[in-house]
Structure 1
Amino acid sequence: APSAPRNLIFLINETALFLTWSPPSDSGGRKDLTYNIMCQRCGASGGEEDCEPCETDLRFVPRPLGLTGTSVAILDFATHANYTFHVETVNGVSGLGGNTRPLANITVTTDQTGPSLVGVVRKDWASDNSIALSWPEAEQQPNVILDYEIKYYDKEQEQSGYSSTRTKALSVIVTGLKPSTVYVFHVRARTAAGFTAYSDTFDFSTGDEDSGMAADHGQVLVVVTAAVGGFSLLIILTLFFLITGRCQGIIKAQLKSEDKRRADFHNAPPFPGIKTYVDPDTYEDPTQAVHEIDPSRIRIERVIGAGEFGEVCSGRLRTPGQKEIPVAIKTLKGGYVERQRRDFLREASIVGQFDNPNIIRLEGVVTKSRPVMIVVEYMRNGSLDSFLRQHDDHFTLVQLVGMLHGVASGMAYLSDMGYVHRDLAARNVLVDEGLVCKVSDFGLSRVLEDHTEPAYNTMGGKIPVRWTAPEAITYRKFSSASDVWSYGIVMWEVMSYGERPYWEMSNQDVILSIEEGYRLPVPMDCPGVLHQLMLHCWQKERGQRPHFNSVVSFLDKLIRNPSSLLTLVDNSFPESPEDMPGYPLFISIGEWLDSIKMSQYKHQFLAAGFTTLDSVSTMRIEDIRRIGVSLIGHQRRIVSSIQSLRLQVLTVQHNGFHN
Structure 2
Amino acid sequence: MVGMLKKDWASQNSIALSWLEPNLPPLAVVDYEIKYYEKEHEELSYSSTRTKVPSVIITGLKPSTCYVFSLRTRTSAGHSAYSPKYEYETTDDTSDMASDQGQVLVIVTAAVGGFTLLIILTLFFLITGRCQWYIKSKMSSEDKRRTNYQNGHAIPYPGVKTYVDPDTYEDPAQAVHEFAKEIDPTRIRIERVIGAGEFGEVCSGRLRTPGKKEIAVAIKTLKGGYVERQRRDFLREASIMGQFDHPNIIRLEGVVTKSRPVMIVVEYMENGSLDSFLRNHDGHFTVIQLVGMLRGIASGMKYLSDMGYVHRDLAARNILVNSNLVCKVSDFGLSRVLEDDPEAAYTTTGGKIPIRWTAPEAIAYRKFSSASDAWSYGIVMWEVMSYGERPYWEMSNQDVILSIEEGYRLPAPMGCPVALHQLMLHCWQKERSQRPNFIDMVSFLDKLIRNPSSLLALVEDIQCLPESPGEVGEYPMFISIGDWLDSIKMSQYKNSFVAAGFSTLDSVAHMTIEDVRRIGVVLIGHQRRIVSSIQTLRLQLLHEQEKGFHV
TM exceeding 0.5: yes
Is it true that 1:468 corresponds to 2:358 in the alignment?
A: yes
| CA contact 2:511–2:534 (8 Å) conserved in 1 | no
Structure-2 change in CA distance of 1:265 and 1:602 (3 Å): farther
Residue 637 of structure 1: how far off its partner (Å): 2.0
Is it true that 1:553 corresponds to 2:439 in the alignment?
A: no
Amino acid at match of 2:28: M
Structure-2 change in CA distance of 1:215 and 1:568 (3 Å): closer
* Aligned twin of 2:156: 269
Distance in structure 2 (CA, Å) of the matches to 1:466 and 1:218: 37
Is it true that 1:495 corresponds to 2:391 in the alignment?
A: no
Deviations 1:210-236 (A, max 9, x none): 5543545999996544469xxxxx99x
Amino acid at match of 1:269: P
Residue 627 of structure 1: how far off its partner (Å): 3.7
Deviations 1:456-507 (A, max 9, x none): xx96111111111111111110110110111011111111111111111111
User: Which of the numbers 162, 168, 172 marks the counterpart of 1:282?
Assistant: 168
User: Which of the numbers 307, 319, 322 marks the counterpart of 1:429?
Assistant: 319
Q: CA RMSD in A?
A: 4.6
Structure-2 change in CA distance of 1:281 and 1:240 (3 Å): closer
User: Which of the numbers 340, 346, 349 marks the counterpart of 2:230?
Assistant: 340
* Aligned twin of 1:386: 276
Decide which moves more: 343-352 or 282-291.
282-291
Amino acid at match of 1:493: E
Matches within 5 A, 1:334-373: 334-373=224-263
Question: For 2:298, what is the secondary structure of its paired residue?
Answer: helix
Question: For 1:519, what is the secondary structure of its paired residue?
Answer: coil
Distance in structure 1 (CA, Å) of the matches to 2:477 and 2:252: 42
User: Which of the numbers 444, 453, 475 marks the counterpart of 1:579?
Assistant: 475
Distance in structure 2 (CA, Å) of the matches to 1:587 and 1:489: 25
Is it true that 1:621 corresponds to 2:507 in the alignment?
A: no
Distance in structure 2 (CA, Å) of the matches to 1:577 and 1:355: 42
Structure-2 change in CA distance of 1:417 and 1:245 (3 Å): closer
Name the structure where helix makes up a greater proportion of residues: 2
Structure-2 change in CA distance of 1:303 and 1:248 (3 Å): farther
| CA contact 2:32–2:53 (8 Å) conserved in 1 | no
Is it true that 1:533 corresponds to 2:423 in the alignment?
A: yes
| CA contact 2:233–2:334 (8 Å) conserved in 1 | no
Is it true that 1:638 corresponds to 2:530 in the alignment?
A: yes
Residue 642 of structure 1: how far off its partner (Å): 5.8
Structure-2 change in CA distance of 1:411 and 1:217 (3 Å): closer
* Aligned twin of 1:564: 454
| CA contact 1:359–1:410 (8 Å) conserved in 2 | yes
* Aligned twin of 1:306: 196
Structure-2 change in CA distance of 1:500 and 1:537 (3 Å): same
Question: For 2:150, what is the secondary structure of its paired residue?
Answer: helix
Q: Normalising to structure 2: TM-score of the pair?
A: 0.64
Amino acid at match of 2:511: R
Structure-2 change in CA distance of 1:381 and 1:639 (3 Å): same
Structure-2 change in CA distance of 1:392 and 1:630 (3 Å): farther
| CA contact 2:148–2:155 (8 Å) conserved in 1 | no
Residue 371 of structure 1: how far off its partner (Å): 1.1
Distance in structure 2 (CA, Å) of the matches to 1:516 and 1:342: 41
Residue 319 of structure 1: how far off its partner (Å): 1.7
Structure-2 change in CA distance of 1:247 and 1:524 (3 Å): same
Amino acid at match of 1:626: R
Distance in structure 1 (CA, Å) of the matches to 2:358 and 2:431: 14
* Aligned twin of 1:543: 433
Amino acid at match of 2:527: Q
Residue 246 of structure 1: how far off its partner (Å): 6.8
Structure-2 change in CA distance of 1:238 and 1:401 (3 Å): closer
Q: Normalising to structure 1: TM-score of the pair?
A: 0.54
The number of aligned residues is 414
Residue 241 of structure 1: how far off its partner (Å): 6.6
* Aligned twin of 1:486: 376
Deviations 1:401-450 (A, max 9, x none): 1000000000000000011000001111011000000000112599xxxx
Distance in structure 2 (CA, Å) of the matches to 1:394 and 1:481: 32
* Aligned twin of 1:297: 187
Residue 620 of structure 1: how far off its partner (Å): 1.6
* Aligned twin of 2:267: 377
Distance in structure 2 (CA, Å) of the matches to 1:225 and 1:334: 48
Distance in structure 2 (CA, Å) of the matches to 1:633 and 1:603: 19
Amino acid at match of 1:287: V
User: Which of the numbers 289, 293, 296 marks the counterpart of 1:403?
Assistant: 293
| CA contact 2:412–2:535 (8 Å) conserved in 1 | no
Distance in structure 2 (CA, Å) of the matches to 1:518 and 1:403: 26
Deviations 1:151-193 (A, max 9, x none): xxxxxxxxxxxxxxxxxxxxxxxxxxxxxxxxxxxxxxxxxxx
Distance in structure 1 (CA, Å) of the matches to 2:52 and 2:245: 30
Structure-2 change in CA distance of 1:634 and 1:319 (3 Å): farther
Structure 2 unmatched runs, 5+: 3-21, 35-49, 59-63, 65-87, 110-144, 337-347, 460-470, 539-551
Residue 261 of structure 1: how far off its partner (Å): 9.5
Structure-2 change in CA distance of 1:602 and 1:587 (3 Å): closer
Structure-2 change in CA distance of 1:618 and 1:316 (3 Å): same
Distance in structure 1 (CA, Å) of the matches to 2:236 and 2:33: 37
* Aligned twin of 1:57: none
Name the structure where strand makes up a greater proportion of residues: 1
Amino acid at match of 1:349: S
Amino acid at match of 1:263: Q
